[in-house]
Structure 1
């Protein structure tokens, strides 16, 4: 499954909500050609899967991942993709922020804040890897 273009940042922070429902994505700075699994993987990470206790049990997160995969109509052969794409994106996030610890070109962000983004992405990647079998089982792999 592929697509001509992707948002590449379809997280809750780039979503418009009305009456508690998401109605639109905004902030297309990173929009570019890409496959659907890139966006589905990022959505899986930012909407469904997190090491943060307030995000619910791993089983609940796995069920949410199933809803996302079903909503996108992922074919059986594409069902392994979201978990691999989450890990890939988390790895890219670690690299992106690691390169910017000493020279971030954007709003004022100190090195400690950037290091926390690196550490947070690493925690998320470790969590995703540790539970990847449950996530894959939940989405029908």
Structure 2
């Protein structure tokens, strides 16, 4: 049965996937090429006891993927977070990664990565991150792919009103300490941050050339490219500060 218009509550905030709605205690999203992998991943996380993700509930009769609704607050934009919040996010992603280690989905890779673990894909309850959502970009990979991105978007900012870079670097350390990252991987975290910043600029440049199904204005795309490049320059310019905090 097609849901009645007044039963479907649009869920705002998606930068890529549009037409996401909540119906009762479920979330409905347009199916995509990623849907089978996402269903398998969420099933694996559930089987292995990870509670910080929605449950996949199949498809409705209009072909949308159905997920359990995780109650809480999803930040509409990036902002400054406390060390306690950042540490909780680091511990949460470690639990998620650990639940995928040695699985068929991870294959020859260390873990399955979410690949878009910004605060905007995180559910907060009582001020603390408790779950990740929107697994459309999930894929096998290295923990550094998620941690490099998280270190950037949770802790680092080139904005004039952002905390001093020493404070940002200390918070990156909080994140990786909570995750338990050590050894050679810790030494190359800054490179992982830079790669994710470059990748973000490349992604939006590709969207600029061919928007496809991405519903975003040319002005928004241009700003996201410029922002990614500013963030990359900020990280490069303060590389020694970040590396010192991690050593």
The bucket for the TM-score relative to the shorter chain is over 0.9
Following superposition, the deviation at residue 76 of structure 1 comes to 2.8
Q: Tell me if the contact between 2:207 and 2:214 (Cα under 8 Å) persists in the aligned partners.
A: no
Q: Secondary structure at the match of 2:200?
A: helix
Describe the shift of the 1:97–1:115 C-alpha distance in structure 2 as closer, same or farther (beyond 3 A).
same
Q: 1:37-52, aligned counterparts within 5 Å?
A: 37-52=144-159
Q: TM-score, normalised by structure 2?
A: 0.54
Following superposition, the deviation at residue 99 of structure 1 comes to 1.3
1:54 and 2:161 are equivalent in the alignment:
yes
Based on CA coordinates, which of the two structures has the bigger radius of gyration?
Answer: 2
Query: Which one of 109, 124, 135 corresponds to residue 28 of structure 1?
Result: 135
- Structure 2 unpaired stretches of 5+: 1-108
Q: TM-score, normalised by structure 1?
A: 0.93
Following superposition, the deviation at residue 74 of structure 1 comes to 1.4
Greater helix percent: which structure? 1
Count of aligned positions: 139
112-121 or 102-111, which moves further after superposition? 102-111
Identify the residue that residue 3 of structure 2 maps to in structure 1.
none
Deviations 1:62-118 (A, max 9, x none): 110111111111113221222101100111111111111142123431211101110
Q: Which runs of 4+ in 1 moved over 4 A?
A: none
31-40 or 101-110, which moves further after superposition? 101-110
Identify the residue that residue 234 of structure 2 maps to in structure 1.
127
Q: 1:59-78, aligned counterparts within 5 Å?
A: 59-78=166-185
Query: Which one of 195, 199, 222 corresponds to residue 115 of structure 1?
Result: 222
Identify the residue that residue 53 of structure 2 maps to in structure 1.
none
Identify the residue that residue 106 of structure 1 maps to in structure 2.
213
Query: Which one of 166, 169, 186 corresponds to residue 79 of structure 1?
Result: 186
Q: For 1:129 and 1:43, how far apart are their aligned partners in 2?
A: 17
Q: Secondary structure at the match of 2:207?
A: coil
- Alpha-carbon RMSD across the aligned residues, in angstroms, is 1.3
Greater strand percent: which structure? 2
